[in-house]
Structure 1
Amino acid sequence: MFDATCEVLEKSIEEGNFSTRGDASAAYDAITSFEFVFVLHLMRNILEVSHDLCQALQQKNQDILNALTLVSTTKTLIQRMRESSWEAFIKEVILFCEKHEVEVPDMNALHIPRRGRTRKIVDQISVEHHYCVNLFLAVIDTQLQELNGRFNDNMVELLTLSSTLDPRDNYKFFSINKVCELVERFYPGDFSDQEKFHIRMQAQHYELDVPNHAELTNLCTISELCQGLTKTGKSLTYPLIDRLIRLILTLPVSTATTERSFSAMNIVKNRLRNKMEDELLANCLLIYIEKKIAEKFDTDSIIDEFYDMKNRCVPLR
Structure 2
Amino acid sequence: MYSVTRVVLGGIIEDLSHTTLDQRGDADAAYQIMQSFEFVFILHLMKEVLGRTDTLSQALQKKNQDIHNAMELVSSTKYTIEMPDMSAPYTSTRYRPRKKDLHVTFEHYYRVDVFTSTFDKQLHELDSRFNDHTIDLLSLSSSLASKKINVDEICLLVEKYYPEDFTEPERTHLRDQFVVFNVEMTNNTKLRGVSCISDLCKYLVDTRKCETYYLVDRLIRLILTLPVSTATTERGFSAMKIFKNCLRNKMSDEYLANSLVIYIEKEIAETFD
TM-score (norm 2): 0.53
Higher RCO structure (Cα 8 Å, ≥6 apart): 1
Deviation for aligned residue 1:128: 3.7
Deviation for aligned residue 1:232: 1.1
Helix, strand or coil at the partner of 2:104? coil
Q: Which residue of 2 aligns with 1:180?
A: 155
Q: Which residue of 1 aligns with 2:196?
A: 221
Amino acid aligned to 1:181: L
How far apart, CA to CA, are the structure 2 residues paired with 1:136 and 1:90?
19
Q: Is the 1:107–1:126 contact (alpha carbons within 8 Å) kept by the matching residues of 2?
A: no
- Where structure 1 has 5 or more consecutive residues not aligned to the other structure, the ranges are 1-79, 265-277, 291-317
Amino acid aligned to 2:166: F
Deviation for aligned residue 1:216: 1.8
Q: Which residue of 1 aligns with 2:125?
A: 146
Deviation for aligned residue 1:144: 0.7
How far apart, CA to CA, are the structure 2 residues paired with 1:262 and 1:110?
42
Q: Which residue of 1 aligns with 2:69?
A: none
2:112 aligned with 1:117: no
2:213 aligned with 1:238: yes
The C-alpha deviation readout for 1:152-179, integer Å capped at 9, x for no partner, is 2233233334432123xxx13x122122
Q: Is the 2:141–2:197 contact (alpha carbons within 8 Å) kept by the matching residues of 1?
A: no
- Where structure 2 has 5 or more consecutive residues not aligned to the other structure, the ranges are 1-34, 53-81, 240-261
Q: Which residue of 2 aligns with 1:88?
A: 41
Q: Which residue of 2 aligns with 1:204?
A: 179
Q: Is the 2:90–2:101 contact (alpha carbons within 8 Å) kept by the matching residues of 1?
A: no
Identity of aligned residues (%): 39
Identify the range of structure 1 (250-259 vs 150-159) with the bigger mean alpha-carbon deviation: 250-259
Amino acid aligned to 1:126: T
How far apart, CA to CA, are the structure 1 residues paired with 2:40 and 2:96?
28
Choose from 131, 135, 150 the match for 2:110: 131
How far apart, CA to CA, are the structure 2 residues paired with 1:260 and 1:153?
23
Q: Is the 1:110–1:124 contact (alpha carbons within 8 Å) kept by the matching residues of 2?
A: yes
How far apart, CA to CA, are the structure 1 residues paired with 2:228 and 2:83?
43
The C-alpha deviation readout for 1:166-203, integer Å capped at 9, x for no partner, is 23xxx13x122122212211111001222112112111
TM-score (norm 1): 0.46
| Residue correspondences, number | 182
Amino acid aligned to 1:251: L
Q: Which has the larger radius of gyration?
A: 2
Query: Are the structure 2 counterparts of residues 254 and 89 from structure 1 closer, same or farther at C-alpha, using a change threshold of 3 Å?
Result: farther
Query: Are the structure 2 counterparts of residues 254 and 241 from structure 1 closer, same or farther at C-alpha, using a change threshold of 3 Å?
Result: closer
Amino acid aligned to 2:163: P
